[in-house]
């Protein structure tokens, strides 16, 4: 009999109950008991949803972040909160976000650094270690929740982050080798596992997702050390990997002395047979067959066909699960009553994915007749999606097939273009510009919302937005900026704005996924071939251009960013989807150019986020991602200046690909790194123009003219001054006009000073 289990369930709640409970608590509208009661009821609901499983995860729920929870379980808090008074929960929120409600009035502490959880859009709090770090067991959270789970009627399987992955996630100060802490960490894990065994827990899920990455010899050795030491514990360990293939770590993962292994059988489908061969005969194999990273229904018929021989071989030793925690998909499709019914029938959110698991288990254990109806429903939905004309548009497919290398080529190389652009644009040295958005005032948001709810006429909406655009243009003229923008008042979100106007996209009402803490995102669903029915931005940008004699830059979101911030199709390679998006945005670029907009910025804020977990696969991704950008950008004439923007500061390992994008101007985030990150542009002899950000838009601080001059002088030591622009780090939409105006005044004044100094 194949067992079913789950690796983790979304904790935010169907209606983002956790978000609202947290934010109320932080604002001190509620007290600790109320917050904990909401958390408890969410856990209970989650277990009710999972009651059919043979084992349900416990400890996957978190008030902020599961890595932070693990740090607390290991008694591992940053020094700066250790002396502070307050409860454990106060400490918890101090590490998470710099303050707890108990700290009202005082300044709080530095929040823990956050970074992306593998290749997902979830962010965890990075544990900080040094050679003085000590660990001590604090298992109360798990102990309490095991009892809760039992009273909810499920068999608990505690979920913890394994010791090797935990250390890998840590950041060490002063070049300290964090693996040296392993020997101090393992006894605490040993105690924890024994305690769990004492509570009658049979299985513990030990997450070691770094086994799907390329590991150095010392990390591989750490796995041996860790699991040989932990094998004496009395709980059975399910060594759990996800987000990719085991690759060269496969044999090691199979042989480590644990009772079971979970593998991602979606992304690692092709290596499952090798795992079956290598796995010692006493071990359980858990196959993650339901995709925990997207929102599509599983093709249960095809899956059963593939699973049956494996089940025949493994029998009881086969377990079934989603590929990874369901944290990365929305909770429930049920409330999406307004969704296009046809596309809706192709979708499965977390709750529906567990239903699929149940059907699979019955089909394998009792035969397909026992679940004939749900299997037939599933087969129908899969067949409809496969053949739907909503998904497949022969014209689009033909256009993608017709892509030739020439489509990605500018007419002339950069030096030739640069001369022509200089003549056409007549910009001064150190031209000043912004990244696109201006403050999104309450007025703007209200108008957009009213228009969305159809409470106001299109006419009123357009006049109001145009008034905002005019305001932005006039402010920029007053400031004396050299290249103006329209200000993006009409955009709620840089991906959603385009997705809503493209065919092949769909938007949910409640399809939230946790990004970090109380923050959630609602990724749009790209379900079909992408077509642009008509211009998407020209009306606004052309209007802005008509208002001024100054050069005006049009703003678009690039294909790779749109792709990386959406749920995308699983029936074609990501590359093909990127090319479809590229062709659609290319048309927009050409329409803008035809409307007289001769500076066009194509934002690729999320290009880096798409890098695969394994370095050996980076180049393949970068090749098509850069091609997609070039297809989008390069249909314009030489006198049209193409800008791109990236809001991060790590270019060292991808500089040659950034250069291959061949944008005439790239604007990047640099203000916080004091221009050091330009070193790589210098070493590489990056040939085109660069706008290193001089205004940290994440901070309310206003940079002074002197600070900006200093930053730009540093920049000029690395990049020839004639190729430098002056601009903020990123868009200004989250800031107030009162902050933006003085900051930009200083920026413009700094540019003047630099020009005078240069003669
Ligand atoms: N053009 C966008 C803006 O200014 C860019 C945002 C981003 O890079 N995240 O808001
Ligand atoms: Zn940005």
State yes or no: 669 annotated in a binding site: yes
State yes or no: 66 annotated in a binding site: no
Q: Residue 720: how many CB atoms within 10 A of its CB?
A: 10
Pick the residue whose CA is nearest to atom 10 on ligand 1.
731
Rounded to the nearest whole angstrom, what is the distance from the C-alpha of residue 595 to the centroid of ligand 1? 22
State yes or no: 550 annotated in a binding site: no
Angle between helices 442-452 and 458-479 (to 10 degrees): 160
Instruction: Report the predicted TM-score, pTM, of the whole model to 2 decimal places.
Output: 0.94
Ligand 1 pocket, residue 731 CB under 6 Å: yes
Ligand 1 pocket, residue 636 CB under 6 Å: no
Which ligand minimizes its atom distance to the CA of 433?
1
Which ligand minimizes its atom distance to the CA of 435?
1
Ligand 1 pocket, residue 600 CB under 6 Å: no
State yes or no: 17 annotated in a binding site: yes
Ligand 1 pocket, residue 645 CB under 6 Å: yes
Q: Which atom of ligand 1 is nearest to the CA of 436?
A: 4
Q: Which of 541, 731, 735, 744 to mutate to test the pocket of ligand 1 (most atoms within 8 A of CB)?
A: 731
Rounded to the nearest whole angstrom, what is the distance from the C-alpha of residue 120 to the centroid of ligand 1? 20
Ligand 1 pocket, residue 606 CB under 6 Å: no
- CA angle at 493 for the pair 519 and 531, rounded to the nearest 5°: 130
Q: What is the pLDDT of residue 104?
A: 66
Ligand 1 pocket, residue 733 CB under 6 Å: yes
Contact 425, 641 (CB under 8 A): yes
Q: Which atom of ligand 1 is nearest to the CA of 605?
A: 8
Pick the residue whose CA is nearest to atom 5 on ligand 1.
731
Ligand 1 pocket, residue 602 CB under 6 Å: no
Rounded to the nearest whole angstrom, what is the distance from the C-alpha of residue 557 to the centroid of ligand 1? 8
Q: Which atom of ligand 1 is nearest to the CA of 647?
A: 8
Distance of alpha carbon 244 from alpha carbon 119, whole angstroms: 10
Pick the residue whose CA is nearest to atom 6 on ligand 1.
731
Distance of alpha carbon 706 from alpha carbon 191, whole angstroms: 56
State yes or no: 402 annotated in a binding site: no
Report strand pairing: 599-603 vs 552-557.
Answer: parallel
Ligand 1 pocket, residue 603 CB under 6 Å: yes
Ligand 1 pocket, residue 555 CB under 6 Å: yes
Rounded to the nearest whole angstrom, what is the distance from the C-alpha of residue 605 to the centroid of ligand 2? 6
Rounded to the nearest whole angstrom, what is the distance from the C-alpha of residue 3 to the centroid of ligand 1? 47
Contact 11, 326 (CB under 8 A): no
Q: Which atom of ligand 1 is nearest to the CA of 731?
A: 4
- 442: Cβ–Cβ under 8 A, 6 or more apart, which residues? none
308 token code pair = 């049956």
From the list 105, 107, 737, 667, the residue with the least C-alpha distance to 474 is 737
Report the mean per-residue pLDDT for the chain. Answer: 96
Ligand 1 pocket, residue 626 CB under 6 Å: no
Distance of alpha carbon 212 from alpha carbon 686, whole angstroms: 34
State yes or no: 328 annotated in a binding site: no
From the list 458, 447, 302, 443, the residue with the least C-alpha distance to 386 is 302
Widest distance between CA atoms in the chain: 85
State yes or no: 170 annotated in a binding site: no
Beta bridge partners of 236: 203
Distance of alpha carbon 583 from alpha carbon 34, whole angstroms: 51
Render 23-65 in DSSP notation, one character per residue. HHHHTTSS-HHHHHHHHHHHHHHHHHHTTTSSBEEES---SS-
**Which residues surround the ion ligand 2 when the cut-off is CB under 5 Å?**
605, 647, 730
Report strand pairing: 525-531 vs 503-506.
Answer: antiparallel
Give the alpha-carbon dihedral of 501, 503, 508, 514, to 10 degrees: -80
170 token code pair = 């840590």
From the list 83, 23, 258, 49, the residue with the least C-alpha distance to 153 is 49
Give the alpha-carbon dihedral of 317, 318, 323, 326, to 10 degrees: -80
Q: Which atom of ligand 1 is nearest to the CA of 555?
A: 1
Q: What is the 3-state secondary structure (H, E, C) of 669-732?
A: CCHHHCCHHHHHHHHCCCCCEEEEECCCCCCCCCCCHHHHHHHHHHHHHHCCHHHECEECCCCC
Residue 390 burial (CB < 10 Å; 0-12/13-18/19+)?
middle
Beta bridge partners of 129: 172
- 55: Cβ–Cβ under 8 A, 6 or more apart, which residues? 3, 4, 5, 6, 154, 155, 156, 157, 203
- HSE-up (13 A, CA, CB side) for residue 645: 24
Q: In what order do the strands lie in the sheet with 56-58?
A: 3-4, 318-322, 284-290, 260-264, 236-240, 203-207, 156-161, 56-58
H-helix segments, 246-329: 250-255, 272-278, 300-314
703 token code pair = 């940079």
Q: Which atom of ligand 1 is nearest to the CA of 733?
A: 10
Q: Which atom of ligand 1 is nearest to the CA of 435?
A: 4
Rounded to the nearest whole angstrom, what is the distance from the C-alpha of residue 409 to the centroid of ligand 1? 26
Which ligand minimizes its atom distance to the CA of 494?
1
Rounded to the nearest whole angstrom, what is the distance from the C-alpha of residue 438 to the centroid of ligand 1? 10
Q: Which of 440, 488, 491 to mutate to test the pocket of ligand 1 (most atoms within 8 A of CB)?
A: 488
- 351: Cβ–Cβ under 8 A, 6 or more apart, which residues? 49, 331, 332, 333, 334
> Would you call 175 helix, strand, or coil by DSSP?
coil
State yes or no: 116 annotated in a binding site: yes
Segments of the chain with pLDDT less than 50: none
Phi, psi of 236 (to 5 degrees): -85, 130
Rounded to the nearest whole angstrom, what is the distance from the C-alpha of residue 604 to the centroid of ligand 2? 8
DSSP code of residue 265: T
562 token code pair = 């749109």
Residues with catalytic annotation?
Answer: 698
Contact 329, 291 (CB under 8 A): no
Q: What Cα–Cα distance (Å) separates residue 559 from each residue in 332, 389, 693? A: 28, 23, 23
Render 532-595 in DSSP notation, one character per residue. --S-SSHHHHHHHHHT-SS-EEEEEE-HHHHHHTSB--SSS-HHHHHHHHHHHHHHHHHHHHHT
Distance of alpha carbon 362 from alpha carbon 299, whole angstroms: 16
Q: Which of 434, 436, 696 to mutate to test the pocket of ligand 1 (most atoms within 8 A of CB)?
A: 436
Pick the residue whose CA is nearest to atom 1 on ligand 1.
436
Phi, psi of 171 (to 5 degrees): -115, 130
Q: What is the pLDDT of residue 699?
A: 85
State yes or no: 520 annotated in a binding site: yes
Rounded to the nearest whole angstrom, what is the distance from the C-alpha of residue 676 to the centroid of ligand 2? 18
């Amino acid at each position: 009999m194949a067992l079913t289990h789950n690796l983790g369930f979304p904790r935010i709640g169907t209606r983002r109950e956790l978000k609202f409970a947290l934010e109320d608590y932080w604002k001190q509208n509620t007290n600790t008991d109320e917050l904990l009661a909401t958390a408890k009821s969410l856990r209970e609901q989650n277990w009710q949803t999972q009651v059919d499983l043979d084992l349900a995860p416990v400890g996957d729920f978190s008030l902020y972040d599961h890595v932070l929870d693990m740090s607390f379980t290991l008694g591992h808090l940053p020094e700066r909160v250790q002396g502070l008074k307050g409860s454990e929960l106060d400490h918890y929120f101090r590490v998470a976000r710099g303050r707890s409600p108990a700290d009202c009035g005082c300044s709080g502490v530095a929040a823990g650094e956050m970074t992306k959880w593998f290749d997902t859009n979830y962010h965890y709090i990075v544990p900080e270690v040094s050679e003085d770090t000590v660990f001590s067991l604090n298992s109360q959270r798990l102990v309490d929740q095991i009892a809760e789970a039992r009273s909810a009627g499920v068999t608990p399987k505690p979920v913890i982050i394994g010791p090797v992955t935990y250390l890998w996630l840590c950041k060490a100060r002063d070049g300290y080798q964090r693996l040296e802490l392993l020997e101090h960490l393992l006894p605490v894990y040993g105690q924890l596992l024994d305690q769990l065994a004492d509570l009658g827990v049979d299985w513990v899920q030990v997450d070691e997702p770094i086994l799907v990455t390329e590991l150095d010899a010392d990390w591989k050795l750490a796995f041996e050390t860790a699991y040989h030491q932990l094998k004496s514990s009395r709980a059975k360990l399910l060594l759990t990997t996800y987000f990719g293939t085991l690759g060269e770590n496969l044999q090691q993962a199979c042989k480590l002395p644990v009772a079971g292994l979970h593998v991602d059988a979606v992304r690692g489908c092709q290596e499952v047979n090798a795992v079956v061969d290598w796995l010692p005969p006493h071990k359980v194999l858990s196959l993650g067959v339901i995709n925990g990273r997207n929102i599509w229904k599983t093709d249960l018929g095809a899956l059963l066909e593939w699973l049956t021989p494996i089940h025949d071989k493994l029998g009881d030793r086969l377990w079934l699960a989603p590929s990874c925690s369901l944290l990365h998909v929305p909770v429930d499709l049920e409330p999406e009553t307004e969704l296009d019914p046809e596309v809706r029938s192709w979708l499965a959110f977390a709750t529906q994915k567990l239903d699929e698991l149940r059907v699979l288990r019955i089909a394998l254990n009792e035969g397909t007749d026992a679940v004939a109806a749900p299997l037939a429903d599933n087969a129908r939905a899969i067949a409809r999606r496969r053949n739907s004309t909503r998904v497949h548009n022969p014209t689009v497919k033909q256009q993608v097939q017709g892509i030739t290398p020439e489509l990605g080529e500018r007419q002339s190389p950069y030096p030739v273009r640069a001369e022509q652009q200089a003549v056409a644009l007549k910009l001064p040295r150190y031209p000043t510009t912004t990244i696109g958005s201006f403050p999104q005032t309450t007025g703007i948001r209200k108008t957009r919302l009213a228009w969305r709810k159809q409470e106001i006429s299109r006419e009123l909406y357009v006049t109001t937005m145009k008034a905002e655009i005019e305001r932005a243009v006039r402010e920029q003229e007053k400031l004396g900026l050299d290249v103006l923008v329209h200000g993006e008042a009409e955009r709620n979100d840089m991906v959603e704005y385009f997705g809503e106007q493209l065919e092949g996209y769909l938007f949910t009402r409640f399809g939230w996924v946790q990004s970090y803490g109380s923050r959630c995102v609602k990724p749009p669903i790209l379900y079909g071939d992408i077509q642009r029915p008509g211009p998407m931005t020209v009306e606004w940008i052309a209007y802005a251009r008509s208002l001024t004699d100054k050069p005006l830059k049009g703003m678009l979101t690039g294909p790779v960013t749109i792709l990386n911030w959406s749920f995308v199709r699983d029936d074609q390679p990501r590359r093909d989807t990127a090319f479809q998006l590229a062709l659609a945005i290319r048309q927009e670029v050409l329409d803008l150019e035809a409307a007289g907009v001769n500076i066009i910025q194509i934002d690729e804020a999320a290009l880096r986020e798409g890098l695969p977990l394994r370095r050996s696969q980076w180049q393949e991704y970068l090749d098509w991602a850069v091609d997609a950008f070039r297809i989008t950008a390069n249909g314009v004439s030489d006198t049209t200046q193409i800008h791109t923007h990236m809001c991060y500061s790590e270019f060292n390992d991808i500089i040659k690909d950034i250069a291959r994008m061949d944008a005439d101007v790239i604007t990047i985030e640099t203000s916080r790194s004091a221009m050091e990150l330009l070193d790589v542009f210098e070493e590489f002899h990056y040939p085109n123009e660069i706008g290193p950000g001089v205004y940290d838009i994440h901070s309310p601080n206003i940079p002074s003219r002197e600070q900006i001059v200093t930053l730009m002088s540093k920049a000029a030591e690395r990049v020839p001054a004639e190729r430098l622009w002056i601009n903020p780090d990123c868009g200004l939409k989250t800031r107030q006009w009162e902050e933006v105006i003085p900051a930009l005044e200083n920026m413009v004044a700094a540019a003047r000073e630099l020009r005078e100094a240069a003669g």
